[in-house]
Amino acid sequence: MILPHSVIRWGSSLLVGIPFVDHDHHEAVEMINRMAGADGAERLSLMRAFLGHCEEHFAREEEMMTRTGFFALDPHRQEHQRVLAEAQRVLTRLEMGSDETEYFREVLPQWFLEHRATMDYVTADFALEHGWHGEDQDPVKAAQ
Ligand SMILES: [Fe+2]
Ligand SMILES: [Fe+2]
């Protein structure tokens, strides 16, 4: 479903080929679109859930990078930490009553699209070429 304020349209062009990454990214896009169209208490509660989603997703990507010996683990992990710190600051401003609309309609969607197309894409490509062979190693499935 495309919401009136959708800022990212999910589609096959956003896939990276690792099931748990694509699953998490699809959820993230739905959350980003919902936050872009929400305001007030609804946006605040969605943002709290989104921060938790990001922490779990980043941990799964970092585990895959570690297990496949990814050459750019450190810069990728640092970028995750940077964006988490930024999101935490946005959450604090939301709690103080700011609407942060530019962040939700522009900064965050642009960051997601760029991060997926660069660091996540290269990470997934490397993992597939270095022994990451699918669902039996999938951190989402393994946790179930
Ligand atoms: Fe990701
Ligand atoms: Fe990432």
pLDDT tens digits, one per residue of 81-108: 999 999 999 999 999 999 999 999 999 9
**pLDDT the model gives residue 131:** 82
Contact status, residue 116 vs residue 14, Cβ threshold 8 Å? yes
Q: DSSP readout, 113-133?
A: HHHIIIIIHHHHHHHHHTT--
Walk me through the domains of the chain, giving residue ranges and CATH numbers.
18-131 (1.20.120.50)
Say yes or no to pLDDT of 138 above 80. no
Q: How far apart are the first and last CA of the chain?
A: 27
Residue 135 is predicted with a pLDDT of: 53
pLDDT for 132 equals 87
CA distance 90 to 44: 10
The pLDDT, as a whole number, for residue 3 is 53
Amino acid 105: pLDDT: 96
Q: What is the DSSP letter of 135?
A: G
What mean pLDDT is predicted for residues 47-57? 98
Residues with CB under 5 A from ligand 1 (ion): 120
pLDDT level of residue 4 (50, 70, 90 thresholds): low
User: Ligand 2 centre and the CA of 73: distance in Å?
Assistant: 10
Hey, CA dihedral for 108, 60, 44, 11, is it positive or negative? Answer: positive
Query: Which residues are placed with Cβ below 5 angstroms of ligand 2, an ion?
Result: 61, 120
User: Does pLDDT of 136 surpass 60?
Assistant: no
pLDDT value, residue 31: 98
Amino acid at 137: Q
